[in-house]
Amino acid sequence: MPENISNIIISRQICLSINDYTMASIDKKMRDDFSQKTKELLSKRVGNRCSNPRCRQLTSGPQEDPEKALNVGVAAHITAASPEGPRYDTAISSAERSSPKNGIWLCQKCAKMVDNDPSRYTIKILKNWKTTSESAARDEVEGNTQFISPQVNNDPYQKIENLMPDLMSEMKNDLSEQPLKREFVLLRKKWMYWASGNELVYYFEEHADLKSKIRILENFGLVYDISFNKVDRYNITEELADYLTQYIL
């Protein structure tokens, strides 16, 4: 191969390498990553446990080396750190995107799961997980474990939390934002429904076996059926409302 052609090829390869490095650097700068301080804060706020209420795996422990600890937790973004990521929200600022408010602490398995299926694991669901996990951690710190202790087998709320953690988490979040609401309806997202504005809405697509879960709440006397015009409508009792709002400060 002539020397001039060889030099051209080498120069082209160098340019491509520089371009790849530059693009990677630009992509990294476009990410609104969490600081180390934010990551540690997210972990501590849930007691170093995965925030998925069906998981709750401990994410830190000792290494064989007595001077080191292992970590299997991830500070995941609720809305993505970059435009190509899952649940990216153009409405929030770069500072908001990298703030603790936009983070959730998960084990590596659950972090991978929620990012691989963002249609199922929506912003609302992840925020509900976060609220529930922080409340549970506060309960443990304060020694108030009457609703979360595995030993309390005669407590209906323990059974309900085990059977429907996602629904309980969403209801807690809804009543924390709208504490005077008591009515709710069950709908499919494709249905046309003219809401009065006074009811909460829970979707069949977001909660498997939703009707059966509501029936369990009925069996415990925590909700009662007030269906009208072929719409599944229910009312939350004050007892359930008190339980759902017990962590509101």
Span 225-240, pLDDT tens digits: 988 778 899 999 998 9
Residue matched to tokens 């990410």: 31
26 has pLDDT over 70: no
pLDDT band at 198; cut points 50, 70, 90: confident
Residue ranges of domains in the chain = 1-30, 31-144, 148-249
Q: Is 73 exposed, middle or buried (0-12, 13-18, 19+ CB in 10 A)?
A: buried
Q: Is 236 exposed, middle or buried (0-12, 13-18, 19+ CB in 10 A)?
A: buried
Q: pLDDT tens digits, residue range 112-140?
A: 999 999 888 888 889 888 988 888 888 88
170 has pLDDT over 60: yes
* More reliable by pLDDT, 75 or 148: 75
Q: pLDDT tens digits, residue range 57-73?
A: 999 999 999 999 999 99
177 has pLDDT over 50: yes
The torsion angles phi and psi of 161, rounded to 5 degrees, stand at -60, -35
Give me the DSSP letters along 125-169.
Answer: HHHHHHHHHHHHHHHHHHT--TTT-TT-TT-HHHHHHHH-HHHHH
Q: Which residues are CB-neighbours of 237 under 8 A, at least 6 positions away?
A: 221, 222, 223, 224
20 has pLDDT over 70: no
Give residue 185's identity as a one-letter amino acid code: V
